[in-house]
Structure 1
């Protein structure tokens, strides 16, 4: 069985292929005419399901999608579902990071608690669908460190560690990340599906 990853983000595709090891996954590069699905919902689960449903309907294959973001306590959980477009344009990692750091510039380190949240969804051509959530708690630091990962990784230090997720090896990050947890749970359900 083939599963379509409903994303064109190459960093995310590489990460998901590692996490979903053993499952035959293909990205949207195989479907250049696949629709761009706007993230119009106000929850991670809503956006993940929107994308998974649309790609399953377009391809006729089971589709996996996710929505994830950084939820900062001092900002009432924002940027949250708006994480990828926090500075205006979708996917402007540096702009998003700079804006967030500017907004937190006068917040003391002890008040910079945050969590990465990911909801992964699968939509089957039959109409069945399922979601799972993963999260990684930590803090936002004031000065970016590391060159790995993408998005907010250079400013996020997981609870119990001193390194940012951008300073971790990919496999190490996958083992603890919000996305790794959500997709590992989803992979277990895919593998055990009758």
Structure 2
């Protein structure tokens, strides 16, 4: 059984990776979240791209625990805002992780803008204690709604209407539907063969 650290305290991300591993029949992998790992200092996410920040987190986790580490950095990119909030998605309103404030600010900024094209982007990195590194990116195209819809998911999900969701918001999809389509699901699937090869 190979233990792999998932550098996140978000249990939703851990469950998403577990589901991808099951879907691809990858066995013999035990995922360890940051809640269950020995504590270590959070790396400063000072990268300028999703890939740079994911790499910082994966390297820090592998170095601190001696386990292969999967990390992701993801966010919402809005065409009319030149790709922002982007890497600042979680702290767009100034407070990290305040979904309501982030959504309210984004709606206010986009109030008079008709071009509502947007995409969720995720970069996932696997770093091993031996120095191997693998990177995969996933995109989920869609557009911004003018008001939140749905109770599922987190972050900007209630404001994002994916192009492949029959007019529903990301927050109106079941967890299974979201994982099958989402940016992070795509990136994790691309990374999965490297996880399987760790055994």
TM-score (norm 1): 0.94
Aligned length: 192
Q: Determine if the alignment matches structure 1 residue 40 to structure 2 residue 46.
A: yes
Instruction: Please name the residue that 1:64 is paired with.
Output: 70
Which 4+ runs in 1 deviate beyond 6 A?
Answer: none
Instruction: Please name the residue that 2:20 is paired with.
Output: 19
C-alpha deviations, 1:17-67, integer Å up to 9, x for none?
A: 322334321101112512212211010000000000000000000000000
Q: Distance in 2 between matches of 1:65 and 1:193?
A: 16
Q: Determine if the alignment matches structure 1 residue 120 to structure 2 residue 124.
A: yes
Instruction: Please name the residue that 2:170 is paired with.
Output: 165
Counterpart selection for 1:187 from 187, 192, 195: 192
Q: Distance in 2 between matches of 1:98 and 1:19?
A: 32
C-alpha deviations, 1:120-154, integer Å up to 9, x for none?
A: 00100001111000000000001100010110000
Q: Could you tell me whether the CA contact under 8 Å between 1:35 and 1:55 is conserved in 2?
A: no
SS in 1 for 2:147: coil
Instruction: Please name the residue that 2:180 is paired with.
Output: 175
Q: Distance in 2 between matches of 1:178 and 1:128?
A: 23
User: CA-atom RMSD, angstroms?
Assistant: 1.3
Q: Distance in 2 between matches of 1:125 and 1:36?
A: 17
Q: 22-31 or 57-66: which moved more?
A: 22-31
- Alignment of structure 1 residues 36-115 onto 2, 5 Å: 36-108=42-114, 111-115=115-119
TM-score (norm 2): 0.92
Q: Distance in 2 between matches of 1:157 and 1:86?
A: 20
- Consecutive unaligned residues in structure 2, runs of 5 or more: none
Q: Could you tell me whether the CA contact under 8 Å between 2:38 and 2:65 is conserved in 1?
A: no
